[in-house]
Amino acid sequence: MKEYFYGLIDSEQLEDTVDDVIEKFIDDNCEVVGEGFDAIADRIIWPVKVLEYRHTTISASVVASQVLDYILDKLDEDYGNMDADPTIPSSTMKAAAKIFAEAVIEDYQVWVCEPTGKIIEYTREEAGKL
């Protein structure tokens, strides 16, 4: 699986390379078919800042907590005493949920990405060479 992806701060879709981001950005700023690079580049504030992204890391403890919350809420709703407080997970439940969450995360492919903090600035001169 690819480790890093690239996009602008407001990108809806990430690209495989920084060059792909810049090419798409230039294309998106074209106002007239066949318009030359210089005319497009004159409307852009340089340098263009491209952010590096990677797949988000999922925490087993967060998943385990979510699973327990969901299951216990559903059990309390369907089978619990309506006048009682919600069921508090026991240490045995927590341990089992953690094992389950770790197994799920190990085989689950995360697609959501988050910024790494790295920003690549692309100049007009660099874009002109694409």
For 48-70, what is each residue's pLDDT tens digit? Answer: 999 999 999 999 999 999 999 99
Question: Residue 70: which residues within 8 A CB-CB, separation 6 or more?
Answer: none
Number of domains making up the chain? 2
* Pair 4, 21 in one domain: yes
* Pair 42, 93 in one domain: no
pLDDT greater than 90 at residue 33:
no
- Binning pLDDT at 50, 70 and 90, where does residue 78 land? very high
Helix extents (H) in the chain: 18-28, 37-41, 60-79, 91-107, 124-128
* Pair 21, 83 in one domain: no
Position 34 scores a pLDDT of 81
Position 32 scores a pLDDT of 83
Percent of the chain, pLDDT > 90? 90
User: For all residues of the chain together, what is the average pLDDT?
Assistant: 95
Position 101 scores a pLDDT of 97
* Pair 101, 83 in one domain: yes
pLDDT greater than 80 at residue 81:
yes
* Pair 91, 46 in one domain: no
* Pair 37, 62 in one domain: no
* Pair 72, 114 in one domain: no
* Pair 10, 47 in one domain: yes
For residue 4, the enclosing domain spans 1-57+110-130
Position 83 scores a pLDDT of 92
pLDDT greater than 80 at residue 3:
yes
- Binning pLDDT at 50, 70 and 90, where does residue 102 land? very high
* Pair 69, 119 in one domain: no
d(CA 46, CA 61): 43
* Pair 2, 48 in one domain: yes
* Pair 114, 97 in one domain: no
88: its two tokens: 């508090």
* Pair 4, 53 in one domain: yes
35 vs 105 pLDDT, higher one: 105
Looking up tokens 């060059």 gives: 19
Handedness of CA 66, 71, 76, 78 (dihedral sign): positive
